[in-house]
Structure 1
């Protein structure tokens, strides 16, 4: 089993371009797995982890409700935002500047073949990272992602998640609000969940800005520990 994970930080990149790049890496792993099975080979399958920050964009999962986007195309244009229907699970979410988006494209045959466990590990990675900042984050029953003050009238989401998997290969991932403009969440019903607030790390810490690179390093450290993986930095190729 290959537990090496190739890391690329794509910087600020268009959502559609990044989605196409994810699909390319995803297909390469799937094709190799199919070749191994058909030809009785044992070629090592790679794993990838992409960090990216997107311009303002709203994405709707395959089972999502279009009504959860509360504005029309003209308003999106006014806000310099785009919209895509995509092939992950989950409902509607927002990506934008000041948010750390992570796309692990893993062959879970290299780790464990359990999607439920995979999602819980991604949540735990974020929970542990927020604990490094003195915050008590947790899961909310039946609602994927990471929350604060669960079970109270002040429950608020700080990290959204949605993944796709085929033949135990994953894509899409998580979006952690760090220095995010929370006003953009007012244009939708986040993840289709009404009457729940959204927050960001800088708001919770009472700081104008949190060091994004520091947060990324903490996320990677906890990812390595949870998945027993080894992160290898790769030169950006897109």
Structure 2
């Protein structure tokens, strides 16, 4: 089992276009035409809701300032946009461990390792997928799977600019949750380039 290929797609990317790209990559991975790949990027501002179709997490969703997209992942409503690092993992679990829960825990572990390098003590919370700093949520996860090939992945709040849009929703359907970011926790500015390098190294360790 080899480490995935990593591709940095840049920033301000349309959600639907990247979703279509994921679907294409999943099919190509199922057909064994490509190796495992992890995409790293920042989206143009968008709210998304998972398979539950329970829009209560996007209260007042008709009046949100950015588009709302329903997608085929687990989880409720969240926000993607500038200042947030998104990672989409297209992995063939038949070549790894055929367990979606372990896949989620592995993604969380890579984020926890990365935050530790930055001096942030991050944790999991029982029964709540994601990564937390004390009672503040810093990363959200939601995945899908096709014939044991995964898609979607994680969203790590890096810069403070990524936080304001969460105030208009109930992030991940958790009432009263406070969202945080890397910058908020270390009280200094960070570059997305630096975080991408750290996350890539951590993901390589976990998915080697």
Matches within 5 A, 1:199-210: 199-207=180-188, 209-210=189-190
Structure 2: segments with no counterpart, 5+ residues: none
Give the aligned partner of residue 111 of structure 2. Answer: 126
Shift of 1:180: 4.0
Structure 1: segments with no counterpart, 5+ residues: 33-42, 150-154, 229-238
Q: 1:109, 1:4 → 2: CA distance? A: 15
Give the aligned partner of residue 139 of structure 1. Answer: 124
Q: 1:55, 1:166 → 2: CA distance? A: 26
- The two structures have a TM-score, normalised by structure 1, of 0.83
Q: 1:44, 1:60 → 2: CA distance? A: 30
Give the aligned partner of residue 164 of structure 1. Answer: 144
Q: 1:136, 1:225 → 2: CA distance? A: 19
Matches within 5 A, 1:82-231: 82-149=67-134, 155-181=135-161, 182-207=163-188, 209-228=189-208
Give the aligned partner of residue 48 of structure 1. Answer: 37
- The two structures have a TM-score, normalised by structure 2, of 0.94
Shift of 1:6: 2.2
- CA spacing shift, 1:103–1:89, aligned 2, 3 Å: same
Q: 1:173, 1:180 → 2: CA distance? A: 21
- Write the deviation string for residues 57-92 of structure 1: whole angstroms up to 9, x where unpaired: 00000114112112343x33xx3x111000001111
How many residues align structurally? 206
- Write the deviation string for residues 178-198 of structure 1: whole angstroms up to 9, x where unpaired: 014311001110000001211
* 2:14 is the counterpart of 1:14: yes
Contact map agreement 2:52 2:76 (CA 8 A) in 1:
yes
Q: 1:137, 1:55 → 2: CA distance? A: 27
Q: 1:65, 1:129 → 2: CA distance? A: 32
SS of residue in 1 equivalent to 2:4: strand
